[in-house]
Amino acid sequence: MTSGASGAPRARLRDLLASEWIKLWSLRSTRWVLGLGTLAVIGLAAQSSLETYDAWPAFTPMEKAMFNPMTEAFSGLAGVMVMIGAGAVGALTIAGEYASGLIRGTFTAVPARHRVVVAKVAVTAGVMLATGAVAVTAAFGVSQAILSGRGVAAALGDPGVARVLTANALLAPVSALVGMGIGALLRHTAATVVTVCAVLVVLPMFFKPTVHQWANDLYALFPFYVWRTCLSLVAPRDSPALPTVTGSWLVFALWPLVAAAVTLLVVHRRDV
């Protein structure tokens, strides 16, 4: 099959996927961020769990009753690191290509820009999902192995555990695709990374439940907020001021979908 007036063979999707895979891994920053980020998440889980193991005899009965072993496996700090790292990688997959001028060669070879975007989204989401799953699973295994020495470890089959692990792993692909969308809009590497950090982490960190339900509903539109106040908890609190599990999953789904649509629209309509 040919494309355009040139009669050049149309690039197959698997070829585009291979091309985007090579581009992603050719960035030295990708290897460093994903590799060191994974080790950092596991290290944080081990450190936190060891500290809890040592301090457990001094815990009060109330502290022991309220103890949540899942927070030792993946803390708020780990969540912040994952979102910033994944968001930055996602942003660089497109903002970096515009900044270097490589995007011109890409669109010359493949004039059908929507196919390039589809390949970018698929590769970035797949890599980030795999990375998030490995980091979260390893951190959970290390953490619970340590806590089992005190008899307070969580098991995969315990209520809510699988949901929390899934949400933790999804932070990476969700953040990466949001970063890609922002990168397509701004096309400036530094500005994109700063904006990604602000939108994904910095702004929602200051949100707290209020007496104004409209504000709570607004807060519940941010992935980090719904993760922190709902999806990261084995037993989420039932309160009108806090997001529901169903609503939180919808937020997790809508942000990357909207970001992918924005990327497709912007790349298709703007000149390089």
Domain presence at residue 166: yes
* pLDDT at 5 exceeding the cut of 80: no
Closest to 72 measured CA to CA, from 140, 163, 167: 140
Closest to 266 measured CA to CA, from 13, 95, 11: 95
Q: How far apart are CA 159 and CA 165, in angstroms?
A: 12
Count of the separate structural domains present in the chain: 1
Domain presence at residue 1: no
Mind listing the pLDDT tens digit for each residue in 69-90?
A: 999 999 999 999 999 999 999 9
Tokens of 249: 């999953």
**pLDDT-above-70 percentage for the chain:** 96
Q: What is the mean pLDDT of the chain?
A: 91
- Which of 24-28, 186-190, 221-225, 226-230 has the weakest average pLDDT? 24-28
Tokens of 149: 């020495």
Domain presence at residue 3: no
Q: How far apart are CA 145 and CA 135, in angstroms?
A: 15
User: Do the beta carbons of residue 233 and residue 167 sit within 8 Å?
Assistant: no
Per-residue pLDDT band at 137 (split at 50, 70, 90): very high
Residues listed for the chain: 272
Q: How far apart are CA 39 and CA 44, in angstroms?
A: 9
pLDDT score at 71: 92
pLDDT score at 253: 97
User: Do the beta carbons of residue 202 and residue 111 sit within 8 Å?
Assistant: no
Per-residue pLDDT band at 108 (split at 50, 70, 90): confident
Give the burial class of 67: count Cβ atoms within 10 A of its Cβ; 0-12 exposed, 13-18 middle, 19 or more buried. Answer: middle
pLDDT score at 4: 45
User: Do the beta carbons of residue 162 and residue 156 sit within 8 Å?
Assistant: yes
Q: Which whole number is the average pLDDT over 98-111?
A: 84
Q: How far apart are CA 81 and CA 99, in angstroms?
A: 25
What are the φ and ψ backbone dihedral angles of 169, each rounded to 5 degrees? -65, -35
User: Do the beta carbons of residue 125 and residue 176 sit within 8 Å?
Assistant: yes
User: Helices (H) and strands (E) in the chain — how many of each?
Assistant: 13, 2
Domain presence at residue 4: no
pTM of the predicted protein model: 0.90
Tokens of 96: 């970096």
Mind listing the pLDDT tens digit for each residue in 7-24?
A: 556 678 888 889 889 888
Domain presence at residue 36: yes
- Which of 11-15, 47-51, 124-128 has the weakest average pLDDT? 11-15
Q: Which whole number is the average pLDDT over 223-231?
A: 96
pLDDT score at 26: 81
40 is in which domain, residue-wise?
9-269
